[in-house]
Chains A and B, each alone.
Chain A
Amino acid sequence: MTSSFPEEVLEHVLSFLTSQTDRNAVSLVCKTWYETDRWCRNRIFVGNCYAVNPRILIRRFPDVKSIELKGKPHFADFNLVPEGWGGYVYPWVVELARAYPSLEEIRLKRMVVTDESLEMVAKSFNNFKVLVLSSCEGFSTDGLAAIAANCRNLRVLDLRECEVEDLSGHWLSHFPDSFTSLESLNMACLVSEVSFSALERLVARSPNLKTLKLNRTVPLEKLSTLLKRAPQLVDFGTGAYSAEFRPDVYSSLAGVFSACKNLKSLSGFWDVTPAYLPVINNVCSQLTSLNLSYATTQSPDLTKIVSQCCNLQRLVVLDYIEDTGLNTVSLSCKDLRELVVFPSDPFIGDVDVQLTEHGLVAVSEGCSKLHSILYFCRQMSNSALIQISKNCPNLTCFRLCIIEPRAPDYQTLEPLDTGFGSIVQNCQHLTRLSMSGLLTDRVFEYIGTYAKNLDMLSIAFAGDSDLGLHYVLSGCDRLRKLEIRDCPFGDKALLANASKLERMRSLWMSSCLVSFGACKLLGRKMPGLNVEVIDERENVNSIPEYAPVEKVYIYRTVSGQRFDAPDFVRIMGKDKDAVYNLS
């Protein structure tokens, strides 16, 4: 049958499959399909840069236009991964430059990107179009200048919360006058002031500009000038949104916003002067996404704005919005899909902000399309969680952070097991879960039993014994990413579920009870896994085998061990030597 089915037809059919998972499945059908897929797959996603290496990638996929790479584990966001761990993009760029001169898109997350890498990107790919760097570090504005100066066809330069060595704002002026293809520019994380006239001219000569996210140094008074040049914007991020109130500035800004008929997304609003918030009143009903998470202003100001956003799908806000504000959201934003509430003062015990579980329950009641929640608060109850689970059976992502570790149900003082158990039982489409509060092994039993679609689970300060970990590893069939900190999980559950680890992307465990001996055993018995013990203690060589490691990061790989690890990272059991120190 396969011989009478022309490859061109198969290729054409496959071209409609864009999802990575589908493509992977397709490539397993038979040799012909594998071959067809590898010749025509040009968008590549590598979820863990150490799971594979550039040479393997290039050998399999000869024609790549777009690549996405992720480096450090997620907990690196919270300083749990020491500096120097790895995730360097340079070796990738070198090989990509050689193999794919027509590469157009590079997307990186949590990787170390040097100016050298950026310079190489800038000079190696003639038709380079898209650069997205999320939570990356290691480069300076010089690297950005190289991109600006050399990438003639650049469409997207998106820096999402990167740590950039900000030498100056001159990089922006490196875009040549002939450069007109810009569609998206996100410089919100940069600190230095760019030349406003250079920025204005850039915006003026970019007719396809849809996304513009300014950094803090662009003052409010200058926003009108910019927006007048780009009324076609869809996604706009302001700079510092504070100034002395002046009616002429106000009306000019309000007018210019009103002219942005395509505007769907707003962000920025640092240091907000509340008096200037109402300039966006006329566009509120257009908005599908609103990020006020840097707007440090009180609930009434925030509430007034959200009450007008009847088409809002995504809201990111500080806990200043309070329960009353969220109640308004539940009444006004009937199309809400995603809610994120960040804490204004995460390190202070008692704050004056009235944000409790009631706000979240209200939104869950009023917004039937809600599917993604990230909520920081200081109290929670089982009954609230149960209510939420019943109101939102279609939840795909539920991340709850109760600020105090191991905080019980504040009403009954019991663990929050039944509450989270209710979430996993009622929300059958849940793919991502982060838990907090007082939790026993029982909650993991619920998770193992009911959370069959769970893809990523984050656990902190929870559980009583290895049983908890065992429930999760043995029960969650679709689990790919598991990250655990400060839980009493140890060797038993890990070793009993060793084969499961090969069906996952990665497992992170820090401040748990996993011993050196167990890590060594796992590394030795499982050639398909890298078992990285990350331990910065000075006397680490004299610590007995039964003692727990500080951190262990286990991931599957076809690339074997890596050779760029610092001395506090040991890839366990990979040689006949007991511990392989790769410094």
Chain B
Amino acid sequence: MMHLKETELCLGLGLPGSCEQTDTALKATGKRGFSETVDLMLNLQTKDQSSSVDMNDKKLQSSTKNNKDLTKPPAKAQVVGWPPVRNYRKNVMAQKSNTEETEKAVAGGGSAASFVKVSMDGAPYLRKVDLKLYESYQQLSDALAKMFSSFTMGNYGSQGMIDFMNESKLMDLLNSSEYVPSYEDKDGDWMLVGDVPWQMFVDSCKRLRIMKGSDAIGLAPRAMEKCKNRS
């Protein structure tokens, strides 16, 4: 016959919401990591079950072995079946972020990669591109168009990006609701993409933002200046 009452911790039988006495053993000192709490669990067991210590020791030895396997994985994804999201949903959502994952993985090991974040106004999350994969603005804009289906080519010039040589065309673009790509350069300034030769762009671009033409008006002065300098 089990005498479970003997093994009860001093748990107060206070009702929920009342001033409670927390068990000292359980008082958390900080956010718990997975492995921390597993160890804590095992400690509590040795304390409690004094009535059948031998059994418990043996159990704990073997269960520690199993639990040690459980404590290994630091990354959430390695805990099987947690969080409890069904395969069906995981697969469907994963199809969206799949490319992101592979890009991240490459970035982790790659040496010559040049990943920059790309955000698009109105899109729910960021993407990343490796600028070293492309050799021209045309290729970059093709890739961006694939990633963000609303980012159409619109009124771009022969280079595939903004034609800075043509002032009126530029102003038309910036007054429209078409999307234009802008980038943050090494100095922290936001520029319109396409103003410098490709390689210079790759070296100085820190991040990309695809925004509505009308929002990019503020970036125009620099672009206009450069346009004027060339003509």
A306 interface hit (Cβ, 8 Å): no
Chain A residue nearest to B87 in the complex (CB)? A79
B58 interface hit (Cβ, 8 Å): yes
A288–B92 CA distance with the chains assembled, in angstroms: 25
Tier of interface size on chain B: 35 or more
Q: Which of chain B's residues 127-152 have a Cβ closer than 8 Å to chain A?
A: 149-150, 152
Chain A residues near B149 (CB, 8 Å)?
Answer: 242, 244, 273
When the two chains form their complex, are residues B80 and A79 in contact, meaning their CB atoms are under 8 A apart? yes
Q: If A465-B48, A548-B59 touch, does A75 touch B81 (CB 8 Å cutoff)?
A: yes
Q: If A492-B4, A513-B63, A547-B62 touch, does A80 touch B9 (CB 8 Å cutoff)?
A: no
The contact string, 1 if C-beta is below 8 Å from chain B, for chain A 418-454, is: 1101100100000000100010111001100000000
A576–B49 CA distance with the chains assembled, in angstroms: 33
Chain B residues near A403 (CB, 8 Å)?
Answer: 76, 83
A35 interface hit (Cβ, 8 Å): no
A131–B63 CA distance with the chains assembled, in angstroms: 45
Q: Which of chain A's residues 530-549 have a Cβ closer than 8 Å to chain B?
A: 543-544, 546-548
Contact of B86 among A78, A414, A470 (CB under 8 A): A78
The contact string, 1 if C-beta is below 8 Å from chain A, for chain B 162-189, is: 0000000000000000000000000000
Contact of A440 among B26, B32, B59, B81 (CB under 8 A): B26
A161–B58 CA distance with the chains assembled, in angstroms: 44
B16 interface hit (Cβ, 8 Å): yes
When the two chains form their complex, are residues A405 and B82 in contact, meaning their CB atoms are under 8 A apart? yes
A298 interface hit (Cβ, 8 Å): yes
When the two chains form their complex, are residues A511 and B83 in contact, meaning their CB atoms are under 8 A apart? no
Contact of B4 among A417, A461, A496 (CB under 8 A): A496
A413–B149 CA distance with the chains assembled, in angstroms: 44
Q: If A242-B149, A414-B28, A446-B16 touch, does A401 touch B59 (CB 8 Å cutoff)?
A: no
Chain B residues near A275 (CB, 8 Å)?
Answer: 150
A440–B90 CA distance with the chains assembled, in angstroms: 30
Chain A residues near B29 (CB, 8 Å)?
Answer: 413
B221 interface hit (Cβ, 8 Å): no
Interface 9-residue window, one of B37-45, B105-113, B196-204, B210-218: B37-45
When the two chains form their complex, are residues A488 and B41 in contact, meaning their CB atoms are under 8 A apart? yes
Q: If A274-B122, A376-B83 touch, does A407 touch B31 (CB 8 Å cutoff)?
A: yes
The contact string, 1 if C-beta is below 8 Å from chain A, for chain B 59-86, is: 1001100100010000111011111111
Chain B residues near A274 (CB, 8 Å)?
Answer: 122
Chain A residue nearest to B149 in the complex (CB)? A242
A320–B96 CA distance with the chains assembled, in angstroms: 15
Q: Which of chain A's residues 389-424 have a Cβ closer than 8 Å to chain B?
A: 401, 403-408, 413-415, 417-419, 421-422
A467 interface hit (Cβ, 8 Å): yes
A75–B87 CA distance with the chains assembled, in angstroms: 12
Contact of B93 among A344, A413, A485 (CB under 8 A): A344
Q: If A297-B124, A441-B9, A467-B8 touch, does A343 touch B16 (CB 8 Å cutoff)?
A: no
When the two chains form their complex, are residues B32 and A485 in contact, meaning their CB atoms are under 8 A apart? no
A490 interface hit (Cβ, 8 Å): yes
A405–B84 CA distance with the chains assembled, in angstroms: 11
Contact of A401 among B15, B16, B55, B84 (CB under 8 A): B84
When the two chains form their complex, are residues A406 and B122 in contact, meaning their CB atoms are under 8 A apart? no
The contact string, 1 if C-beta is below 8 Å from chain B, for chain A 224-254, is: 0000000000000000001011000000000
Contact of B9 among A293, A296, A345, A464 (CB under 8 A): A464
A386–B37 CA distance with the chains assembled, in angstroms: 25
Least distance between A186 CB and chain B CB atoms (Å) = 13
Chain B residues near A445 (CB, 8 Å)?
Answer: 11, 13
A270 interface hit (Cβ, 8 Å): yes
The contact string, 1 if C-beta is below 8 Å from chain B, for chain A 77-100, is: 111100000000000000000000
Chain B residues near A419 (CB, 8 Å)?
Answer: 16
Chain A residues near B98 (CB, 8 Å)?
Answer: none
Q: If A77-B86, A343-B85, A496-B4 touch, does A405 touch B79 (CB 8 Å cutoff)?
A: yes
A564 interface hit (Cβ, 8 Å): no
Least distance between A191 CB and chain B CB atoms (Å) = 10
When the two chains form their complex, are residues B49 and A546 in contact, meaning their CB atoms are under 8 A apart? no
Chain B residues near A413 (CB, 8 Å)?
Answer: 28-31
Contact of A320 among B37, B86, B124, B152 (CB under 8 A): B124
When the two chains form their complex, are residues A465 and B45 in contact, meaning their CB atoms are under 8 A apart? yes
Q: Which of chain A's residues 259-306 have a Cβ closer than 8 Å to chain B?
A: 270-271, 273-275, 293-294, 296-298
The contact string, 1 if C-beta is below 8 Å from chain B, for chain A 485-498, is: 11010101101100
30 CB < 8 A contacts A-B: A77-B84, A77-B86, A77-B87, A78-B82, A78-B84, A79-B81, A244-B152, A245-B150, A346-B83, A346-B85, A376-B85, A406-B32, A413-B28, A422-B16, A422-B17, A425-B15, A438-B28, A441-B11, A445-B13, A460-B82, A461-B37, A464-B9, A464-B26, A467-B9, A488-B41, A488-B42, A546-B58, A546-B59, A546-B62, A547-B59
B: residues with CB less than 8 A from A are 2, 4, 7-9, 11, 13, 15-17, 20, 22-23, 26-32, 34, 37, 41-42, 44-45, 48-49, 55, 58-59, 62-63, 66, 70, 75-77, 79-90, 92-93, 96-97, 122, 124-125, 149-150, 152
A-B complex: 8 closest residue pairs judged by Cβ atoms:
A78-B81, A421-B16, A422-B16, A547-B62, A161-B88, A413-B28, A418-B16, A347-B77
A: residues with CB less than 8 A from B are 75, 77-80, 135, 161, 163, 189, 242, 244-245, 270-271, 273-275, 293-294, 296-298, 320, 342-349, 352, 376, 386, 401, 403-408, 413-415, 417-419, 421-422, 425, 434, 438, 440-442, 445-446, 460-461, 464-467, 470, 485-486, 488, 490, 492-493, 495-496, 511, 513, 515, 543-544, 546-548
